[in-house]
């Protein structure tokens, strides 16, 4: 089996293939980070995107290895962050990057589907014993992250959810 350095020298397709093998014993997060650096070092989209895909593959596999929801959330936020950086650097006109943007928006909005409305989310967030408290905390974590990235891009239509989470933005409405 090739080492991480050997895989990097072979290119992004080799990284993706190695990560896909069940017997792989790779250090996924550093390998993903190295792939992301390669993507960031490429000005041309056609050169950057395969490396971004390899980085995302590494972080997705790393997220699949963890069991706790908060640990998994941390690993997933990195892979969606890579997608966001590619969209920010290159725009979303290319269909591949438009797919990244759709995936980001779905990921941000997914936890909100657990709640009937914004008020139910607010109640679950502030009640430690609520059945959906963990889901509410995870959604709040994603909303905080969206503020660091670009809430209008990452979480369109969720303005009221930011307010319910105690995150005040100029474009948010009251609960």
Verify that 22 and 53 share a domain, yes or no. Answer: yes
Within-domain flag for 119: yes
Q: How far apart are the first and last CA of the chain?
A: 55
Number of other CB atoms surrounding residue 33 within 10 Å? 16
pTM reported for the whole predicted model? 0.85
SS (H, E, C) 28-67: HHHHHHHHHHHHHCCCCHHHHHHHHHHHHHHHHHHHHCCC
Verify that 86 and 111 share a domain, yes or no. Answer: no
Please give the pLDDT value at position 175.
42
137-153: pLDDT as tens digits: 888 998 888 888 888 88
Within-domain flag for 96: no
Verify that 81 and 109 share a domain, yes or no. Answer: no
Please give the pLDDT value at position 155.
84
Is the model's pLDDT at 130 over the cut of 70? no
Percent of the chain with pLDDT over 70: 93
């Amino acid at each position: 089996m090739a080492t991480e350095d050997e895989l990097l020298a072979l290119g992004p397709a080799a990284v993706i293939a190695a990560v896909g093998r069940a017997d792989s014993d790779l250090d996924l997060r550093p390998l993903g980070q190295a792939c992301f650096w390669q993507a960031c070092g490429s000005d041309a989209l056609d050169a950057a995107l395969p490396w971004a895909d390899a980085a995302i593959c590494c972080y997705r596999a790393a997220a699949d290895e963890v069991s706790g929801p908060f640990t998994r959330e941390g690993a997933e936020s990195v892979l969606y962050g890579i997608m966001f950086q590619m969209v920010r650097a290159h725009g979303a006109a290319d269909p591949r990057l438009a797919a990244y943007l759709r995936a980001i928006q779905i990921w941000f909005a997914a936890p909100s589907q657990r709640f009937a409305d914004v008020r139910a989310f607010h109640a679950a967030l502030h009640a430690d014993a609520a059945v959906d408290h963990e889901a509410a905390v995870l959604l709040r974590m994603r909303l905080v992250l969206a503020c660091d990235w670009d809430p209008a891009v990452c979480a369109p239509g969720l303005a009221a959810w930011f307010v319910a989470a105690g995150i005040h933005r100029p474009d948010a409405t009251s609960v």
